[in-house]
Amino acid sequence: MAIYRSFPGTASALYELVLAGVIGWLYTELPMSIALIIPDRKLDDLQQRLQQALPDIPIEIWPELNEPAEVEFAVVWKQPHGCLNGLVNLKAIQCFGAGVDSILSDPTLPDVPISRIVDPALTDAMVSYLDGVVSYYRLRLDLFSAQQQQLLWRPKGPRKFSHITVLGLGELGSAAAQHFTRLGFHVAGWSRSSKSLPGIQCYAGEEQLHQAVASADVIICLLPLTAATESRLNTNFFQALQPQSIFINVARGAIVDDAALLAALNNGPLAAACLDVFRQEPLPQDSPLWQHPAILVTPHVSAVTNVSTVVSQIADNYQRSQQGLTLHHPVNLLKGY
């Protein structure tokens, strides 16, 4: 500023005009972009579909960003910590999944609104996976699979399941609870705040957790991973379950204390566990969970984000962030989910 002020008369005015023009151009013409920050995944399909929905916006795949300062919107999944910090013009973060724990664990997370995926196709996938797993145990396919390894022919009738408890009554948990209610099970659910859902016995808060699971033959975990839920399913929790119950975790591995789970399988009360999620993924080769005869391991596949069904909500959220509107499916940073 001091320099151009020393220009005499018209020259100074001209300089001011040019400078204002350059600043204006910088603010209006900087080609703002969307960054896809989803390491270790092929992103061509997402990039193409999003480009079709937003033809005028450059969509770049991290780490190959043209200019980090151009990024105004980031679609993120398990980002390396720190990589969002350099996006100085970021206006919003769109999580590419339903759970935001990996995004929120970044200590350098920029202070911008975050949204997550809520998608009927994702919900259907989760319900269908859970339906299959409950049938698998009800029909004793776990037992027959083990017997087959030993060439054993020992018929046995189905397990008598009547009660199912779902931990977490959000988008996925409430859909799962309603599904099993429709199939004729007695269904209970547990959440943070109290709820009233038709046909479901609802429990809420720490003090009602044991009550919620006391009569369950099957317990399904669909809680988010937060400071309050980390390692929450511990020895105390497993000791509150019925003998011969089945535990299914499709939420996050770190909600479960693995040593307590193994003890509950080895010494009771659990008969079996199906685990789709783990503290460390991929599950390390030396994890005892791989080899345990009463554990079914699936590689985090119960409900995978479907690019074709979520692209419109991502594009819509981009537009909303540009207009300063609240994003669809916003994350509550105080609650952590």
Residues noted as catalytic: 252, 300
The mark string for 289-318 relative to ligand OXD (x by CB under 6 A, - otherwise) is: ----------------x-------------
Q: Residues 43, 87, 103, 169: which binds ligand NDP (CB under 6 A)? A: 169
Distance CA 192, CA 216 (A): 19
- Give me the amino acid identity at 297: V
In terms of CB distance, is 188 or 220 closer to ligand OXD? 220
Residue with tokens 């540009």: 322
Q: Residues 300, 309, 322, 328: which binds ligand NDP (CB under 6 A)? A: 300
Question: How many C-beta atoms lie closer than 10 Å to residue 48's C-beta?
Answer: 13
Range list of β-strands (E), the chain: 33-37, 59-61, 71-76, 92-95, 114-115, 163-167, 186-191, 200-204, 218-221, 245-249, 270-275, 295-297
DSSP 54-91: STTS-EEETT--S-GGGEEEEEESSPPTTTTTT-TT--
Q: Residues 172, 200, 216, 275: which binds ligand NDP (CB under 6 A)? A: 172
| Residues ≥6 apart with Cβ < 8 Å to 175 | 123, 126, 127
Does position 78 bind ligand NDP by CB under 6 A? no
Does position 224 bind ligand NDP by CB under 6 A? yes
Does position 277 bind ligand NDP by CB under 6 A? yes
Does position 253 bind ligand NDP by CB under 6 A? no
Q: Smallest distance, Å, CB 187 to ligand NDP?
A: 14
Q: Smallest distance, Å, CB 40 to ligand OXD?
A: 14
Q: Residues 68, 97, 113, 168: which binds ligand OXD (CB under 6 A)? A: 97
Does position 192 bind ligand NDP by CB under 6 A? yes
In terms of CB distance, is 68 or 99 closer to ligand NDP? 99
Residues across the chain: 337
From 66-74, 92-100, 129-137, 314-322, span contacting ligand OXD (CB under 6 A): 92-100
Q: Tell which residue, 94, 56, 54, has the closest CA to residue 73.
A: 94
Question: Do 216 and 242 touch, CB atoms closer than 8 A?
Answer: yes
User: 3-class DSSP state for residue 2?
Assistant: helix
Residues found near ligand NDP in the complex (CB under 6 A)? 97-99, 168-173, 190-193, 222-226, 228-229, 250-252, 276-277, 300, 302-303, 337
